[in-house]
Each structure stands twice: as C-alpha cells, then as structure tokens.
Chain A
C-alpha cells in the first residue's frame, strides 16, 4: 500500500516539475488523476456540482501557479487535498454557505446505472454520514476513503493531530451506533467504547 502510494507520489512530483516548466499536458494528467477523489472529498462538504467543479478548478489554478514552489515536505496528494480543502471552505464562505450538515439534502444521488449492491451501499453510507458533522465526514473520507494517516489529515485540514484523532474517534462512535441500525442489526452489546 505504502509502496504504491510512493510510486504515485513520484509520478506526481514529476508532473509538478513539468507543470512548473509550463507543460499543460502534465496539468491535465494530474487533473484527471485527482478529479474523482477530489469530487468525492468535496462532496462531503457540499452537494452542489457546480461549486465542486469551481473548487477543483480553483485548486488546480493555485497548483498550476505554485507548482515550482512545492517544497516536498508532504506527498503531492496531501498538498493537493489541503489546497482543495481550503479552496472549498473559501468558496463556501464567499457564498455564505455552510458545509452541508444536513447530508440528507442530496441531489442526484447514485447514477441509475449503478449495480444494485453499489446503490444499497451508497444509500447506507449516505444515511450514516447524515449523523456526522462536516469535519467528521471529511476526516472519515480522508482516512477510510483516501487512505490518509492522521498526520496527513492534520496537514490537509491544518489542525493538530489530536483534534483530528478526536474527530475520527467521535465519528467512529456515532457510526458504530448507527451503521448496524441502518443495516437492520441491533447495536446492543457492541457499545464497549461508546
């Protein structure tokens, strides 16, 4: 897993070097590589497709201009997601929007061509995430969805590791109680940490 991520990071660093030299093909490659992940990450913050596209483009606008300033202290993916996170918060602030705390307000959920199993899984996840705050959703996304460490999440969200750890802990406690109910099970006898 780590080796695979290291390989991706090496590829990303080369792309950044090419971007610093003005190579738009490198920008397109990086854009396509991270578009899906960023969409998913930002969809935990807002459900507006137009805003998600705008934030992704804001992010890559910054990356294009600052490609030669990447210090290499973190993985490129961590750097990118941090920029996307800050662009997302800024876009929401400028519009006076709050991160979507009512996760039930979902638009266009689940393409119709989804296999049934995926649709059920997505529905189950959507209902579960309704019980989390925006920050908790983002931490869960970054840890379980993206595969970031606590330190990487802290760098992305510019928060202390302890804060991230607490957000993850509380999110897991909530999910622990909610997920079995949503799956038709009982959370009883499973609450040792709650």
Chain B
C-alpha cells in the first residue's frame, strides 16, 4: 500500500517536471531523478516518450506558408509610408482649410448669438401704456383731474377745444397729465381756462407739484 502510494506520488512528480526536463531548463538533479524513475515506471516512460514526440512535432516549421521576404518588404513599405501626422502638403492644406472653415462657422455663430442677444434686449416697446408711470414728465405738462361725472365725450371735447394731448394717467386719484399740442410751455391762461371749466376738478402745472 505504501509502495503504491509512493509510486503514485513519484508519477505525479514525474508528470510535473517532464516539460521542464524536455526543455532542459529543469535542475540537473531533477533530470537525473526523472531518468531514474522512467527506468522503473513503464507508464511514465511511455508518457515521456509521447511528450518528447509532441515537442518534436511542435518544433517543426509552421504549416501555414508565410514568406519572410514578402512580409519584410511589406513592413518596410509601411515604415516608409507617411505617418498620419505627416500627411502630404495637399492633404495638409485641405486640413487647414477645414479648420479655417470651422473657425469661420464658429465666429459666425458667436456673431449671430451676440446680435440675437442685443435684439432680445432691444425688444423693449417703443410705446408706453397710460397705466405705466412716466419716466420723465414733458415740459409744460399739466396735471388735470376731471370731475367724476364728466363723460368721455366731454373729456374729448375739452382736449380738442384746448388742443391738448394726454401723455400720462390716470394716476391713483384719476388725474391725467396733458400737454398743449402746439406750445409745450404751460401758459397761465390755459391753466385759468382749465380751472374755470366746470367739469375740471383740478388743474396744476406738473413742475409745481410738491
């Protein structure tokens, strides 16, 4: 039993070192031990002969025909071919043209963007609704507060008679800012006439407003 176990261990060891003995890279003592074992073990001896034959077969030249001279010629042609970084002048010029076009497109895109942004900000309306506060009262403006009972027709007639134009209002108390169409300067006479009108509750020059 012990002998059989030892024999099994020896066969395993022989199996492991066979490739390296065949390569002649195993230490000399291993080679000697294997030769000694093979002399006593027919099975391992047959296996070693088989592996030796396998090694001989693998040492044969490749069975796929590849010509070394042709391959070398192709390699040198490849080495002589221009590398991607050193393209012919015509192709390099084409590359530069492509880059220039790309830059031009980029500049155009930026320009369009800037113009678009300016257009967006300039879209502030050129008109102003009467509900919006006046940024600056025109010269000669008069603030007029009509009576609550005054009709629209009477208001229009008054504006027409005094040749006035509404530039602002009504404000929180219902007053409008008006200016004379002809002369922007506020005349005392115009103020008196407006104040004398029975349908006008208040008429004051804007500049005098406290």
- The 8 Å CB contact of B71, one of A1, A53, A128, A189, is A53
B75: chain A residues within 8 A (beta carbon):
27, 31, 57, 60-61
Contacts A31-B72, A56-B66 given: A118-B60 contact, CB under 8 Å? yes
- Report yes or no: A35 in contact with B68, Cβ–Cβ below 8 A: yes
- Report yes or no: B62 in contact with A121, Cβ–Cβ below 8 A: no
> Using a Cβ–Cβ cut-off of 8 Å, how many residues does chain B contribute to the interface with A?
39
For the complex formed, measure the closest distance between the CB of A29 and the CB atoms of chain B, giving whole angstroms.
11
A183: chain B residues within 8 A (beta carbon):
50, 53
Docked complex Cα distance between A16 and B62 (Å): 25
Report if B119 contacts A (CB, 8 A): no
Report if B25 contacts A (CB, 8 A): yes
A149: chain B residues within 8 A (beta carbon):
20, 25
- Report yes or no: B64 in contact with A144, Cβ–Cβ below 8 A: no
Docked complex Cα distance between A49 and B63 (Å): 10
- Report yes or no: A57 in contact with B47, Cβ–Cβ below 8 A: no
Q: For the complex, would chain A's binding face be called helix, strand, loop or mixed by DSSP majority?
A: helix
Report if A160 contacts B (CB, 8 A): no
- Report yes or no: A180 in contact with B50, Cβ–Cβ below 8 A: yes
Report if A24 contacts B (CB, 8 A): yes
Report if B61 contacts A (CB, 8 A): yes
A-B contact sample (17 more), CB < 8 A, given A47-B64, A176-B47: A1-B24, A36-B62, A49-B66, A52-B64, A53-B70, A56-B66, A56-B71, A61-B79, A108-B63, A109-B63, A122-B57, A128-B54, A143-B23, A172-B15, A175-B54, A179-B50, A179-B54
